[in-house]
């Protein structure tokens, strides 16, 4: 049975006025997670709190599928609450979580991810990032359009391509890892890795044995590096792997002993066998050649006289069958592409206004997108952070999903216009605010989970 020990720390950082991150350590279920909320002063806190509470409630089985389904349940609840409460329109959250699950050969560690919070594994003093960020910059990095250094300072590095609460359903990344004693998992929001390098994180995780102390030190380093966002860290240690490490060591030792054991000695007096003569090698193949006959069954003088003619007939028939089959396959593929294009919608700019198209952005084969509707939202009214995604074509699996996106976009535009009007009307007044104080990191005591 796998035993874990965990510690955590979270802090508002040096710039933000409130902490929109949430975390959970469900020791009894060996379930741990971090969520980074977004969507206004209140919305981010609500979204991240809902995510961790609902995942903990609905991840009832020790399987990766159960963990994934719990995340999808949380996503739908956040999406519906954001749509029902005007004050929470546009809220969302990232989420990373892990737990012990049942595997075919014993316990495994399952992890899931949506957004740009991360899961790392420290094994044999090497820090490995298990999750992949769902962000615009990460997509550009994977496509080779940005280098690592450029991605680290890109002005749009915080734009997410996937998060909980943005659409009715969400794709959840996840996998399982075999745990070994000494493994250390790190779950964190982007407030950590945007301020602290991978080498620094690995150094802290190697140096501090207590998971709570390691989490607090990582938060301190993030604040020291600038603290431009909320910072949340959960460190989970594999204290006991149920004997897996010992079994693996014994197996490796057995394999090593077999590799170094001497084999049977060769007889130095043995005479190498002579290679078979050419006649012997080909005798069987020659005797199996067919004997040609005439129309009455009699043997003809030239046994290969009709070979070229027969080959021509066979090739012609096979080529014809292949061409027919190829045309059928192409027809099915083209039909499937056309059907898929007809079921896809995307939001982009038509001239200077936001519009809905049916089909694939840019078209596919000879299926060009069709304009379905044009809104009153202009290009200048769209928030700059969202504008690149709309210019590229924001895709949806149904018209209703596209309409929901437009409703949320219109809400953001209206809120931005209202905020601008309020700012203009009050620009002549002067207000004084007390300087924000930075709350000290809160550290959860390490726990040992059976």
Q: In this structure, what CATH number is given to the domain that contains residue 145?
A: 3.60.40.10
Q: Is residue 447 part of a domain?
A: no
Q: Is residue 70 part of a domain?
A: yes
In this structure, are 232 and 365 located in the same domain?
no
For residue 447, the tally of other CB atoms under 10 A from its CB is 14
What is residue 52's predicted lDDT score, i.e. its pLDDT?
A: 97
Per the CB < 8 A criterion, the answer to whether 401 and 168 are in contact is yes
Sheet holding 3-11, edge to edge: 126-129, 118-123, 184-188, 231-240, 3-11, 442-449
What is residue 1's predicted lDDT score, i.e. its pLDDT?
A: 87
In this structure, are 373 and 231 located in the same domain?
no
Cβ within 8 Å of residue 357, ≥6 positions away: 345, 346, 347, 348, 350, 369, 370, 371, 372, 393
What is residue 282's predicted lDDT score, i.e. its pLDDT?
A: 39
In this structure, are 235 and 348 located in the same domain?
no
Q: Is residue 239 part of a domain?
A: yes
**Residue 19 belongs to domain spanning:** 3-243
Model pTM score = 0.57
What is residue 130's predicted lDDT score, i.e. its pLDDT?
A: 98
Last residue of a domain, one of 243, 262, 293: 243
Instruction: Give me the number of domains the chain comprises.
Output: 2
In this structure, are 238 and 353 located in the same domain?
no
In this structure, are 235 and 358 located in the same domain?
no
What is residue 140's predicted lDDT score, i.e. its pLDDT?
A: 83
Coil vs helix vs strand at 314 = helix
Q: Is residue 389 part of a domain?
A: yes
Cβ within 8 Å of residue 28, ≥6 positions away: 449
Q: Is residue 270 part of a domain?
A: no
Per the CB < 8 A criterion, the answer to whether 70 and 58 are in contact is yes
Coil vs helix vs strand at 56 = helix
Per the CB < 8 A criterion, the answer to whether 212 and 445 are in contact is yes
Q: Is residue 73 part of a domain?
A: yes
Q: What does pLDDT average to in each consecutive run of 10 residues of the chain (450 residues)? A: 96 95 95 93 91 97 98 97 92 97 95 97 97 87 75 72 95 97 97 96 98 98 97 98 81 60 48 46 38 39 44 57 84 73 84 89 77 90 88 86 88 81 55 45 44
Q: Is residue 295 part of a domain?
A: no
In this structure, are 238 and 354 located in the same domain?
no
Q: Is residue 304 part of a domain?
A: no
């Amino acid at each position: 049975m796998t035993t874990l020990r965990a510690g955590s720390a979270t802090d508002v950082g040096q710039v933000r006025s409130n902490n929109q991150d949430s975390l959970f350590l469900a020791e009894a279920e060996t379930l741990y997670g971090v969520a980074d909320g977004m969507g206004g002063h209140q919305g981010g806190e609500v979204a991240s709190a809902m995510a961790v509470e609902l995942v903990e409630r609905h991840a009832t089985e020790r399987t990766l599928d159960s963990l994934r389904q719990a995340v999808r349940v949380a996503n739908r609840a956040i999406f519906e609450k954001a749509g029902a409460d005007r004050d929470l329109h546009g809220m969302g959250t990232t989420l990373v979580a892990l737990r012990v699950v049942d595997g075919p050969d014993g316990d495994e560690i399952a992890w899931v991810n949506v957004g740009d919070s991360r899961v790392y594994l420290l094994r044999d003093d090497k820090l490995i990032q298990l999750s992949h960020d769902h962000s615009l910059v990460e997509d550009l990095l994977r496509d080779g359009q940005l280098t690592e250094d450029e991605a680290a300072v890109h002005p749009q590095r915080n734009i997410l391509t996937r998060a909980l609460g943005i659409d009715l359903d969400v794709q959840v990344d996840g996998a399982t890892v075999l745990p070994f004693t000494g493994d250390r998992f790190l779950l964190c929001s982007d407030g950590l890795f945007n301020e602290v390098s991978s080498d620094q994180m690995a150094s802290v995780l190697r140096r501090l044995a207590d998971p709570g102390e390691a989490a607090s030190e990582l938060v301190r380093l993030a604040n020291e590096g600038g603290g431009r966002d909320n910072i949340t860290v959960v460190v989970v240690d594999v204290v006991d792997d149920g004997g897996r490490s010992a079994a693996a060591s014994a197996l490796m030792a057995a394999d090593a002993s077999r590799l170094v054991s001497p084999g049977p000695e060769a007889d130095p007096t043995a005479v190498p066998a002579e290679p078979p003569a050419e006649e012997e090698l080909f005798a069987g193949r020659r005797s199996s050649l067919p004997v040609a006959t005439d129309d009455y069954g009699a043997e003809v003088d030239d046994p290969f006289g009709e070979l070229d003619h027969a080959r021509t007939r066979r090739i012609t028939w096979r080529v014809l069958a292949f061409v027919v089959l190829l045309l059928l396959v192409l027809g099915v593929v083209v039909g499937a592409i056309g059907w898929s294009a007809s079921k896809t919608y995307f939001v982009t700019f038509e001239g200077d206004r936001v519009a809905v198209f049916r089909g694939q952005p840019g078209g596919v084969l000879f299926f060009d997108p069709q304009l379905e509707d044009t809104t009153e939202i202009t290009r200048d009214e769209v928030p700059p952070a969202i504008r690149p995604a709309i210019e590229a074509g924001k895709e949806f699996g149904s018209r209703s999903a596209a309409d929901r996106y437009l409703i949320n976009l219109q809400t953001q535009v209206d809120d931005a216009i209202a905020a601008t009007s309020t700012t203009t009307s009050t620009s002549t007044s002067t207000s004084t605010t007390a300087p924000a104080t930075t709350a000290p990191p809160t550290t959860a005591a390490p726990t040992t989970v059976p």
